[in-house]
Chains A and B, each alone.
Chain A
Amino acid sequence: MGLLVFFVAAALAVAGGIGVIAFHEPIRSVLSLVVVMVALSILFLLLSAQFVFVVQIIVYAGAVMVLFLFVIALLGPAKEPSRGRLRFQPWLAALFAVVFLVLVWVMLQGVQYRQPTLTDLKVFGTVEWIAVQLFTTYLYPFELTSLLLLVAAIGAIYLSKRNIEDL
């Protein structure tokens, strides 16, 4: 059963990934990415990461992708770009990507996997579990991340103003 869910989700993810890079129009790429994200969230669930599954859908697919859609709407339809200037780029890109993939595969070969122990799903991956870690051991990164968000927000506001006096 798990295997089946995995393969479906994996197929969706790969299809979405190919779609992201293959479609000409940006709006289709964004929507493909949304598909990828949903597939990934299923996989997270499969990996007993319940909280992350929810957050992925709400925050990533729900907010960040919506942001992208808004920007696409703002910028209007993409014009067809002319022939690129770098002639060797696609070939080199393919070469290096394949090399990279092969290397990663070889690296993964060496990894010894053991059966993960059975976990208590009432504990592992739950909201409480994450929250406890977040507010005790990992408080510092948590606070820094919030600061980062604040900075990003200010930056975005500043960058998008036409006249500085309007701020």
Chain B
Amino acid sequence: MSIGGSQLDSSWFLLLGAILFTLGAIGVLVRRNPLVILICIELMLNAVNLTLITFSRQLQNPEGQLFALMVMTVAAAEAVVGLAILVEIFRVRDAEDIDDLSELKG
């Protein structure tokens, strides 16, 4: 069965999730502002959530929705800590460009 068939079935949602994920990936790769990179990561997480919920509906399984809740919680925690680190870096040095933070070279 090809995706994007006439009926509204899971394949549509999954394709959308894939597109959003790819957009998020491109954003992480291309943008250089650390803050925007974190935002794109959130976008990727949301795409994953969509996929999870879709499969939950498809398979009549509560696990998908629960997992999506967990993802949300973890995303929140990760955003908190990530932003705290970011603020700390900004306080010490003006890191507008993530390429400046390359001390792990070699």
- Interface majority SS on A: helix, strand, loop or mixed? helix
Answer whether A108 and B19 are a contact pair too, CB < 8 Å, given A81-B96, A86-B99, A116-B60: no
Contact size class for A? Answer: 35 or more
Contact B8 A153 (CB under 8 A): no
Shortest Cβ distance from residue B49 to the other chain A in the assembled complex, whole angstroms: 7
State the Cβ distance, B35 to closest chain A Cβ, in Å. Answer: 5
Whether A26 and B36, one on each chain, are in contact in the complex, defined by CB atoms closer than 8 angstroms, is yes
A residues sitting closer than 8 Å to B (CB atoms) are 2-3, 6, 10, 13-14, 17-18, 20-21, 26, 29-30, 33, 36-37, 40, 43-44, 47-49, 51-52, 55-56, 59-60, 63-64, 67-68, 71-72, 74-75, 78-79, 81-82, 84-86, 89-90, 92-94, 96-97, 100-101, 104-105, 108-109, 111-113, 115-117, 119, 124-125, 129-130, 133-134, 138, 141, 145, 148-149, 151-153, 155-156, 159-160
| Chain A residues within an 8 Å CB radius of B53 | 43-44, 47, 49, 52
